[in-house]
Amino acid sequence: MSYDFSLNPVLEKANNDDLQYLVEIITNAMTNALDCDELYKKYQPDHKKYVGVIASEIRAFGGNTFANMFRGGKGPEYKEIVCDVADKLEAPYNKNASIEKVEDAILETVLTQALEKMSESEKQDLLKEIGEGKNYSITGPALTTAFITIFRMGGFKSYQLTVIIANAIVKAVLGHGLRLGANAGLTKLMSILTGPIGWFITGIWTAIDIAGPATRVTIPAVVYVAMLRKKYNTPTCPHCKQMIAVGSKFCPECGGSL
């Protein structure tokens, strides 16, 4: 199996709980080869011991069987799969951009489509829930613009929005959402995850779900890996290790100086 520098390093940082969702997304497909793999059968649920197999299986779903034969049984490079997902979702992107930029284009497209289906009051409630109370009085098209600005700024709030997107798609595919763990900032999202934006993202997924069995793996896998990449790139408090917003002077969890 070949090493993909856009995918393998992200999965290597993940713990078994994080990898569990990717394994479920893959094994949920009838055409998967993972559940026949010897390393999978030997080590799961200790997924970290066969991260390379998980990465290879995601890539295999990104290329058709005939094309993979000419790659020596390997799928396309992961960035090629990400660009293919961007094409399917009609997300505007530059093929020469970094993989993070292409992933952000995908996430921003899904977020925008969901926001456009939400009412003004629903969007204002969502702004308030993610801690943007100062923008609560915004109305009209500026509401959607506010969310896109928050997303593009990066940091914890951008990651929060990504979790909302990933949770809705994972739930649509697997029938259950993400477990958010002990991060205080994320546990506050619980009411949002079952709210209107989750419904509309699920509707977007339902519209593209008919594209084929490979798409049912590549799209949720790409969105989920994008969420993991943001997780590991989001700054954390040096004292309590909780995620923090870019530019924070004090940790909102432990109060430590940053």
DSSP assignment of 156-208: HHHHHHHHHHHHHHHHHHHSS----TT-HHHHTTHHHHTSHHHHHHHHHHHHH
Q: Exposed, middle or buried by CB within 10 Å (0-12, 13-18, 19+), for 38?
A: exposed
Give the CA count within 13 Å in the CB-facing half-sphere of 250.
5
pLDDT number for residue 207? 72
CA dist 42 → 22, 48, 199, 223 (Å): 18, 12, 38, 28
Residue 103 is assigned to a structural domain of this protein: yes
Q: What does each C-alpha distance from 45 to 22, 49, 50 come to in angstroms? A: 12, 9, 10
Has residue 164 been placed in a domain? Answer: yes
Residue by residue, pLDDT tens for the chain (258 residues) are: 689 999 999 999 999 999 999 999 999 988 899 999 999 999 999 999 999 999 999 999 987 543 444 445 567 999 999 999 999 999 999 999 999 999 999 999 999 999 998 888 888 888 888 776 665 567 788 889 989 999 998 888 899 899 999 998 998 889 888 887 656 566 666 667 777 888 888 887 777 665 567 888 999 999 999 999 999 988 777 787 777 766 677 776 677 777
Task: Count Cβ atoms within 10 A of the Cβ of residue 92 and give its class: 0-12 exposed, 13-18 middle, 19 or more buried.
Answer: exposed
Range of the structural domain that residue 130 is part of: 8-233
State the pLDDT at residue 190. Answer: 66
Structural domain contains residue 119: yes
- Say what the pLDDT of residue 92 is: 96
For residue 96, what are the contacts with CB-CB under 8 A and spacing of at least 6?
none
Dihedral sign for Cα 19, 25, 28, 32, please. negative
Residue 242 belongs to some domain of the structure? no
Q: Is residue 55 part of a domain?
A: yes
Specify the number of domains making up the chain.
Answer: 1
Whether 256 maps to a domain, the answer reads: no
DSSP state of 84: H
**How high is the pLDDT of residue 103?**
98
250 located within any domain: no
With respect to residue 254, please indicate whether it lies within any of the assigned structural domains: no
